[in-house]
Amino acid sequence: MRQPELWRAHRRLCETYGDVVHLSMFGEHFIVLGSQQAIFDLLDKQSAATSDRPQNPLIKLCGQGFNFGLYPYGQWWRRHRRVFSQYIPLTVPEEQLLIQHEYATLFLRKLLTDPVALCDHIRYVFSATIVKIMYGVQVANDGDPSVALIIRTLDGLKALLSGQMLVQYLPILRHVPMWVPVLGTQLRQLAEWRAAADEVKQVLFSKTQDDLVQGRENTSVLGRSLQELDEKKGDVNLAEEHLVAMNTCITAFEGAAETTFSTIQGFFLAMSLNRDVQKKAQVELDSVVGPHRLPEYRDRASLPYVDAVLKESLRWHNVAPFGLLHCAGEDVEYRGYFIPKGTTFMSNVWACMHDPEVYANPDRFLPDRFIRDGKLDPEVRDPSDFVFGFGRRICPGRAFAEAQMFDIIAMVLHVFEITPPLDEHGHPIDIEPRVGGTFLLYPEDCRCTLKPRSAQAEALFSGKRSS
Ligand code: HEM
């Protein structure tokens, strides 16, 4: 579990022992799933029995007790998921697309004025969009203290997904006194994350509630949800429903923030390393969208190559190599094996996304693999069927995520040239694509140089006129 590049280690394991491998650690059972067949058979087809999540005291210790993505399978999880799907449906509503587009345009402006702070701007665009949609709160800019506060809630989640916290494996360690070296520091850190998460959850909730009390318009997810609950207040347990709404909104923020941030970091890296891909996408954008406007999400069907760039971004830099862990909520039988209730499934999504039998040269960024006769080829394995997870726990924000990432990718390619970063003498720096992390991966270095493609392209978003 603590091997570097665990996804490669698991692939080697499956090459030796087959695509369903049992591991045991501290008395816990783990099943490594190494093929599309095994993953779909267990997590999709037997979803009623395999949609539980492994429970662990670390979830609450690091302040993530509100995150319904980590809840056990059951009624309480179902209530949250229902609220989420009611307000973030799979057909993304027009008003949400508009907010995504508005923030994406702001993102272009930020890239123009301060291209070196690329990662801060990526962080900003995804965090600010989801906060606006969920709470109706306008996050002013990258330096806004509320962004820093919100981002602190993610530290607890990231620690949980890093697999590096000792209490995760030996829960008894949580009773160790704070002065014990290493462990004490980890426990203190956990307490800070808990406090940050509680504060953010409460602060954002109160801001929306305050708008409603003061009679200010707030059409956000939380705003509408609170108003609808208010109308039904005699018939429902209002405190409980408020808690569900509060948890759902902050979970949406957490689900959205890191995954999209890391995918788009990977996209910028891929573009600076693959100028030919960029050129092809730009030829398509120039002919379909033209020089007088920015692309929008509704152009997606007419931009198959740009769509292929999104698919390849999701595949090449596979953010969550094991998705989120599932666990057997009851005993399961598969290929004659008995899998007891409580067993954790580790599906090697990364191996499916880097299978050379399916994707030739899997380490290369080649959107053309998805194209046949100028259209998306339905015969090629679609990364979206893997990277968003499986069965009843499949990512409910996948349509929202794809819409926002497509919009950003199309807009960036339409107006910017992306090239490798330069050293102090103006020479290009060679970036070796590497990732860090275990359950959530980030490119180690995605520096690049960004320049508007032309004065006309710049005028589309900067407010300046082209001469
Ligand atoms: C690149 C973008 C994204 C990727 C790769 C991604 C991936 C995933 C994966 C792998 C899971 C676990 C699925 C499983 O258990 O099988 C998940 C769950 C979840 N995601 Fe996403 N996600 C993305 C964006 C988003 C966005 C934008 C939102 C919110 C708007 C979101 C909200 C959630 C929630 C709430 C869950 C928990 C679902 C549950 O346990 O029932 N995700 N996501």
CATH of the domain at 442: 1.10.630.10
* Three-class DSSP category at 31: strand
pLDDT of 187 > 90? The answer is no
pLDDT of 394 > 80? The answer is yes
Is 1 domain-assigned?
no
pLDDT of residue 192: 87
pLDDT of 177 > 60? The answer is no
Cβ of 259 less than 6 Å from ligand 1: yes
Ligand 1 centroid, distance to 95 Cα (angstroms)? 21
Mean pLDDT of the chain: 92
In which domain, by residue range, is 329 found?
Answer: 6-462
**Per-residue pLDDT reduced to its tens digit, 408-447:** 999 999 999 999 999 999 999 999 999 988 888 999 999 9
pLDDT band at 109 (very low <50, low <70, confident <90, very high): very high
Cβ of 67 less than 6 Å from ligand 1: no
Cβ 306 vs Cβ 285: under 8 Å: yes
Q: Which atom number of ligand 1 is nearest to the Cα of residue 77?
A: 41
Is 23 domain-assigned?
yes
Is 467 domain-assigned?
no
Percentage helix, strand, coil, to 5, in the chain? 55, 10, 35
- Report the domain count for the chain: 1
Q: Whose CA is nearest to atom 18 of ligand 1?
A: 395
Average pLDDT over every residue of 157-167: 71
Average pLDDT over every residue of 135-153: 76
Is 306 domain-assigned?
yes
* Three-class DSSP category at 428: strand
CA 433, 436, 438, 442 dihedral sign is negative
Q: How far apart are CA 250 and CA 203, in angstroms?
A: 11
Ligand 1 centroid, distance to 324 Cα (angstroms)? 8
Of 451, 63, 35, 442, the residue nearest 251 (C-alpha): 63
Cβ 174 vs Cβ 57: under 8 Å: yes
Ligand 1 centroid, distance to 387 Cα (angstroms)? 9
Is 206 domain-assigned?
yes
**Per-residue pLDDT reduced to its tens digit, 294-326:** 999 999 999 999 999 999 999 999 999 999 999
Cβ of 63 less than 6 Å from ligand 1: no
327 labeled part of a ligand binding site:
no
Is 136 domain-assigned?
yes
